[in-house]
Amino acid sequence: QALRQISQRTISTASRRQVENRVSENQKLFQEDNGLPVHLKGGAKDSLLYTTTAGLTLFGTVYAVYYLLVSSMPKKPN
């Protein structure tokens, strides 16, 4: 019963908090014509995420092609 009271108290207090509406700020940021693609308009964090994803994709592609070439070669007899 104590757990039920704690969970009800948590749910009821969470609904009373005022959430700041920042949609208009984000719309201004993403609709601004600054020559950047939309996936990089978020700043340095977006740029880091994009660069990391591109690097991992390139590494994975090279790794897969390398192992395809290695596995296509016949094994040398001992």
Q: Could you give the maximum distance between any two Cα atoms of the chain, in Å?
A: 75
Q: Is residue 48 part of a domain?
A: yes
**Sign of the CA dihedral running 67, 68, 73, 74:** positive
Q: What is the pTM of this model?
A: 0.60
Q: Is residue 68 part of a domain?
A: yes
Instruction: Tell me the two tokens of residue 10.
Output: 């948590």
From CA 32, how far away is CA 30, in angstroms rounded? 6
Q: Is residue 73 part of a domain?
A: yes
What total number of domains does the chain contain? 1
Q: What is the pLDDT along the chain (78 residues), one digit of tens a residue?
A: 666 666 655 555 555 566 788 889 888 988 889 888 888 888 899 999 999 999 999 999 999 999 999 999 988 887
From CA 1, how far away is CA 77, in angstroms rounded? 73
Q: Is residue 45 part of a domain?
A: yes
DSSP state of 78: -
